[in-house]
Structure 1
Amino acid sequence: MDPRTSAQDVMRCDLCETAVVQMHCDTCLVNLCKACVGEHISDESKDHKVVKFQSRKSTLLHPQCALHDKKRCDMYCEQCDIPLCSACIVSENHSGHKILEIIEIYHTKKMEIEKENEEMRKSIYPIYEDIASDAEKRISQLDKGYEGIATTITNHGEEWHRQIDKLVNKLKAEVDNMKAIHKAALEKHRAEINQRISDIDDKIRKLTKLLESNDISLFTHHNITVAKFRKLPPIVDASFPNFTPIKFQEEPFQQLFGKLSSLSLTSEEYGYNSKLQQISPEAGSFPPIKKILDEPEIVTTIDTEYENANGVACLSEEQIWTAGNSSSIKLFNINQGSILQSITTRSGNGPSAIAVTKNGELVYADKSNRNVNIVKNKKIEEVIKLQNWAPLGVCYTSSGDLLVTMYSDENRKSKVVRFFGSTEKQTIQIDDKGQPLYSNGSFTKYISENKNLDICVSDWGANAVVVVNQAGKLRFRYTGLISAQNKKEFSPYGITTDSQSHILTADCNNHRVHIIDQDGQFLRYLYCGLNEPFGLCTDTNDNLFVAQISTSKVKKIKYLH
């Protein structure tokens, strides 16, 4: 037996293929004997890290710099989202940017991936197993349920003798057909759940493999996708049809023998979510409860120096993008109040709305150019180009979709459109009665997604906040409160949501912010000395940022415990 191919043989050197492995190159991931180490490291194009075989993968593999040959990246630019070597840092390309040690990014990403892997393995995967078992149980109950119906029909048919056998057979055939439809629906559901389980299993294997890697590039480029698995499938079920016998009369048999009710298949969208809450109470859908402060606190105030500030979007806990009636969109340091960066729109006009992606990229809607743009590495790229429609508001969803409010140049109608990249996925325009959900014309319509995936639009033309569910079905309209405090008509402009699924809306004319819950119930006003609040956003710690159109100042407000 060839000792190099024997299954019982020890590992051999990758170079000579004969000597026993003693060393390992963490840079090249090559196994070596001591005699071959010199030959391997003679290749000076790489910075070889040779360690004892037992200590392999102990050295973190820093990524190669894309711009400078033979340079390894030790730092990371948060704004540009790229690794940097020493030569990159001294260049002017990253002047004023927040630079972090890449090892910090590695450890942060590793913790996130470990948490994701833990949730997938211990929380989500067991739930899908339970769902699959539940679907199997429902299928196993089909025969018993439908056999009972068939027996009732048969017994009743025997009383009517042979002249109605044909009708009996017809109705039994209908039962069999319903059973087939019911079973097919449940089997399809079971197949979808099993596929999800397979996807989760595959994801866990990939995450586990990633956690075993020492390649930092793999960690920095990994996108957390556990959110799509947190959204559990709907419960698919159906009520068994009933057979109602009728006593014999001299009437047509079809009417007298009895009527079989229709099969009713139902799909409850969030039927399994209670399982997720029980097993994984810290999952994204169940944040810790925070209460509204009795006395909100103004943390800081920033002067944007616009003539009219109307937009604000959080990049991080320390940085915000601002917009006004100017072609310049400015990035501010919150604590220092200084401008870190400025982007000029291509059209030369002020944006109708701004937002920030999960990756920290600025997005703005340009009503005059009828497009939506994204800023990457200080370069503006067109994402969506509209024909005969103009964008009014934009926001990114938890799933990475882009929601855009827009109005038509021709008939002045308004709608919300969901995009994935530049591909249109969904249009939301009318309610169940065929009536428009939103006011006609170019009235300001800002937009935000709630934690429960509801789509919230502040419709100034309708003096209302219009909230629909993920499928586009109207949930409620909030039109403000009629009281002595509200001296003027409710005028909603900026809109945002927080971790508690609160919906916050800027009431510009009445100089306050309304806070309502996810079902449209009024909770509280925020005053805080606001003067014509217009643009709103919240950061990851539920701090509220308010852009005041009259003073052009942005206030940071702490309003939750």
Structure 2
Amino acid sequence: MKCMLGLHKSHDAVELSKIIESKKQEIEEETQEIESIIIPSYKEKSKTTDEKLSITIGKLHELEKETGKNRKFWHQEVDTIFNKFDSMMKSIKENHLAGLKSHHSRLSKLIQEMTETVKKNKKILLSKTMSAVTSYKSKLHKYRNMPTDIDVKLPSLKTNTAQGRELRIELGEHQAMLTQGALSSLTDKFSYSLPSKLLDKAKMIASIPTRVKPLGHVACVGVDEAWVSGIDKTIRHVDIHGSGRGTVTCQYWPSDITVTRHGELVYSDVNKTVNIVRQGRTETLITTPPGWKPDKLCCTKLGDILVSMFTTDFSQYKIVRYQGHTVRQEIDRDEHGQLIYKGGALTLYVVENNNGDICASDNNAKSVVVVDKSRRVRLRYDGTPARRKKSFNPAHIVTDSMSHIIVTDKNNACLHILDQNGQFLRCVDNCGLDKPNGLSVDREGRLWVGLLNTGEVKVIQYMT
């Protein structure tokens, strides 16, 4: 009445009862949609996910049974080979089942939350308290956006038994093989892929212009594609023909990039985090402890992530093995308590070899350092056997299917190839590798070498 008769009489007035009635009508319609449409949809999705979970467990169980059956065909190397496959299966189960269980749990929680919302809404509709109605906040938009379904891709198991000659087993992208060299017993030779011999002269298969200058890092994806990055905030996806396949924008420029066994991009940045890109979304995977910053990365075949990190004053380096968010191993001191890696402003690159050795390119010490599973320093390589004109300048480092250790040498425009025991085999220096910087190996066993100044990536075949 004051608004009608007083100073406010210039504006329209609506009875409060009509506003309340309109608001209640809105709540009633919303409650009806949640109860009759959205909750049943979630329940159906939960049922489907539960069925998928059961099917996945069954299939994984069958895969485990199949790998178990093949044990009787393998002799001298059976324990080594199948222990690796068991570990792979355990990791696959943890990754896939954890994702499905998490998705199922989230759906269940949302169903419970929506059921509670319906109950509360019904109480509001019966309530005579105006504040209960006017303070109502809608959750309809949240509930309409159902969580994205989980896509489970299980590896296939393939076996081949040529009695008396060859035994082969393959699980997804990993394979092992035993060959018989004599009738008396099986040899101890087995490998994880087919390439087996170094070429006398390496061959350049392709030269890819990336337009990233300076080019810092290369990480292969499958056979004919790779991620590349420099000192800007963009990581680019290119193929062997030089075509762009997409980009990822970072908050800070990446210190390193790598790819998981499932093809997901992982990168570290100066903001103390290691991040993973899943379905176009960036998630923080690891945050380093206070006083440490992440640097170089390696995704292992069994799903762990190795992170080299340094103190903020560059006085100390270490390599940390993460399984998910959990620290499983730290490598910084040898069996005598001495620091393994040298402090300084340069970087420590890291990779894991097939036998479990941790191979590092210690640029501050100008050497390659190999540490075994018990943190014992197996070897140090300083480049002397290669007899190059300039001093050894090791940087990016990889290993291949034959356990070769391959490291870039920017000073001498070449790659050094060592066997797993640090024995120098040869240099790749005939493919125009001016300032080789990024380095990766694709699934066909070819090297992708990034050139610092030109931004090119050279694809090199160096094994038969």
Q: TM-score range by the shorter chain?
A: 0.5 to 0.7
For 2:421 and 2:438, the matched residues in 1 are separated by 23
Q: 1:442: Cα distance to partner?
A: 3.7
- Is the aligned partner of 1:503 residue 2:405? yes
The 3 A distance-change label for structure 1 pair 477 and 535 is same
Deviations 1:78-99 (A, max 9, x none): xxxxxxxxxxxxxxxxxxxxxx
2:178 touches 2:188 (CA, 8 Å); kept in 1? no
> Which of 1 and 2 has greater Rg?
1
Question: Partners in 1 of 2:284 and 2:373 — Cα distance?
Answer: 26
1:338 aligns with 2:240: no
Aligned partners of 1:420 and 1:519: how far apart in 2?
27
Count how many residue pairs are aligned between Structure 1 and Structure 2.
Answer: 322
* Amino acid across the alignment from 1:311: H
Whether the 8 Å contact between 2:405 and 2:420 is mirrored in structure 1 is: yes
Q: Which has the higher contact order (CA 8 A, sep 6+)?
A: 2
Counterpart of 1:538 in structure 2 is 441
Q: Report the residue type matching 2:211 in the other structure.
A: E
Given candidates 127, 139, 153, the residue that maps to 1:221 is 153
How far does residue 435 in structure 1 lie from its aligned partner after superposition?
1.5
- What is the aligned counterpart of 1:487 among 356, 373, 389? 389
Paired residue for 1:453, among 348, 351, 356? 356
User: Which residue is equivalent to 2:146?
Assistant: none
User: 1:355-382: per-residue Cα shift (whole Å, max 9, x none)?
Assistant: 000111000011x201100011121111
The offset of 1:277, in angstroms, is 7.9
Assess, with a 3 A threshold, how the Cα gap between structure 1 residues 225 and 288 changes in structure 2: closer, same or farther: closer
In structure 1, stretches of 5+ residues that fail to align are 1-65, 70-109, 132-192, 204-216, 227-274
TM-score (norm 2): 0.62
1:416 to 319, 327, 330: 319
Residues 219 and 126 (structure 1), Cα distance of their counterparts in 2 relative to 1, 3 Å cut: farther
Give the counterpart of 2:285 among 380, 383, 398. Answer: 383
Return closer, same or farther for 1:435/1:393 CA change in 2, 3 Å cut-off. same
CA distance in structure 1 between the partners assigned to 2:415 and 2:152 by the alignment = 38
**Deviation per residue, 1:330-370 (Å, 9 max, x gap):** 00011x211111111122xx21111000111000011x201
Choose which of 70, 75, 83 in structure 2 pairs with 1:122: 70
Deviation at 1:220, TM superposition (A): 4.6
What corresponds to 1:526 in structure 2? 428
* CA deviation after TM superposition for structure 1 residue 115, in Å: 8.5
Separation of aligned partners in 2, 1:553 and 1:476: 33
Cα distance, 1:556–1:286 mapped onto 2, change above 3 Å: closer
In structure 2, what is the equivalent of residue 398 of structure 1? 301
Separation in 1 of the partners of 2:403 and 2:309? Answer: 24
8 Å CA contact 2:63–2:157 kept in 1: the answer is no
Partner residue, 1:208: none
- Distance change >3 Å, CA 521–CA 442, structure 1 → 2: same
Q: C-alpha separation between the residues in 2 aligned to 1:294 and 1:549?
A: 26
Provide the C-alpha distance between the structure 1 equivalents of 2:283 and 2:244, rounded to a whole number of angstroms: 23
Describe the superposition over 1:374-421 as per-residue Cα deviations: whole angstroms up to 9, x where unpaired.
Answer: 011121111111121111110111211110001011562100000011
RMSD of equivalent CA atoms: 3.7
Q: Closer, same or farther in 2 for the Cα pair 1:283/1:385, shift >3 Å? A: farther
Match of 1:321 among 216, 227, 238: 227
Aligned-residue offset at 1:123: 2.1
Distance 2:303 2:412 in 1: 34
Partner SS, residue 121 of structure 1 = helix
In the other structure, the counterpart of 1:187 is none
Give me the whole-angstrom Cα distance separating, in 1, the residues matched to 2:258 and 2:150.
28
What displacement does 1:127 show?
A: 6.6
Q: Tell me the distance in 1 between the aligned counterparts of 2:381 and 2:234.
A: 33
The equivalent of 1:440 in structure 2 is 343
